[in-house]
Structure 1
């Protein structure tokens, strides 16, 4: 597994972290200081902005877990991967997304571009 594939897995672990302070510490480890996250419903930058966005998503979908749906496809400094959001142990995700992540020279994420393929009703 490439380092960027491991980073993508850590990225999803951050989305599953309930404690905002622990989550912020993990964000600082995985994301560059001025990193951006953009999807159809949000555009944020910086550690605090990313943390607030993830916290809001967790509040909107309590008890849900993000998980990889396929293997991470990575080359050079770019990775793409599909994720699902569902209650723990569910067989079918309620939401499905596709993210493209770009890493900086130090291996931390500089940008993530999210696409939403399926949203809960």
Structure 2
């Protein structure tokens, strides 16, 4: 008799576990939705667990429907393209599930944290999500931009060191995004548009045929993290290999960055025409 009761008890536990597991399925799918960065793919995933009258509310949005929810996530990734979402243990009560979550950047710095409450409809779909932000753990947009600005400045400073100090092109290559674009003034003997780091190195080698360079004044850095831009201003002193003459000239270089890598560089010479004539002149 005891054996029969024990078997029934196990059967009941398995049933409860299965019910809990079924209720967690739409939540697991919901988290995968947030991790998907392709908008079209994500919308298809949303439609599997979200209804046109399902709602999402948090301090940043209050929306209804699949497309509107997809747009919320699109806007999120515009602000935080390298965000990584993690979540804690799920607690199930009737048709409700709650859990804590965190959003980190690619360097594991905390962007924000909070707790979500989900109401399920019993058919594997979510009818409502309410998100609460933990303000004590959430970085302000100003703080986020400061962190991004610091990271961008470090990348550009490392690039500058590799190019002008150590000549370490292997280390420099790790800072450059695939397909990055370097645009030199067409009036220069090594001018043009160079796509990809392999083409950059050819341009650097070509420029070295015309002059030897020393840094006369170390760079000053300017940054706009909201646009992922860094500008540096410095002064070079060049010795022409054709004429043996020297020329001092200020230069600014404009860097575009994405996810911690350089995607484009555009140098501006104080007087490009004078610099080009200096490189071409003979003794």
Q: Same-fold call, TM > 0.5?
A: yes
Structure 2 unaligned blocks of 5 or more: 1-19, 141-283
Check if 1:111 corresponds to 2:128.
yes
Structure with the bigger percentage of helix: 2
Secondary structure class of the residue paired with 1:119: coil
Shift of 1:67: 1.3
Residue 271 of structure 2 corresponds to which residue in structure 1?
none
Residue 102 of structure 1 corresponds to which residue in structure 2?
119
Cα deviation code 1:47-68 (max 9, x no counterpart): 0000000110111111011111
Q: Return the alpha-carbon distance in structure 2 between the equivalents of residues 99 and 89 of structure 1.
A: 24
Structure 1 range deviating more: 1-10 or 102-111:
1-10
1:115/1:10 CA distance change after superposition, 3 Å: same
Structure 1 range deviating more: 4-13 or 76-85:
4-13
RMSD: 1.6
Check if 1:93 corresponds to 2:110.
yes
Shift of 1:19: 0.7
Check if 1:75 corresponds to 2:86.
no
Residue 24 of structure 2 corresponds to which residue in structure 1?
5
Aligned positions of 1:40-55 closer than 5 A: 40-55=59-74
Does the 8 Å contact 1:79/1:100 carry over to 2? yes
Aligned positions of 1:14-29 closer than 5 A: 14-29=33-48
Shift of 1:36: 0.3
Shift of 1:89: 6.4
Q: Return the alpha-carbon distance in structure 2 between the equivalents of residues 88 and 78 of structure 1.
A: 32
Q: Return the alpha-carbon distance in structure 1 between the equivalents of residues 65 and 28 of structure 2.
A: 20
Secondary structure class of the residue paired with 2:26: helix
- 1:64 pairs with one of 58, 83, 86: 83
Secondary structure class of the residue paired with 1:84: strand
Cα deviation code 1:1-44 (max 9, x no counterpart): 62222322221111111111100000001112211000112101
Secondary structure class of the residue paired with 1:106: coil
Structure 1 unaligned blocks of 5 or more: none
Between the two proteins, the alignment pairs up a number of residues equal to 119
Does the 8 Å contact 2:23/2:122 carry over to 1? no
Does the 8 Å contact 2:39/2:74 carry over to 1? yes
Does the 8 Å contact 1:35/1:109 carry over to 2? yes
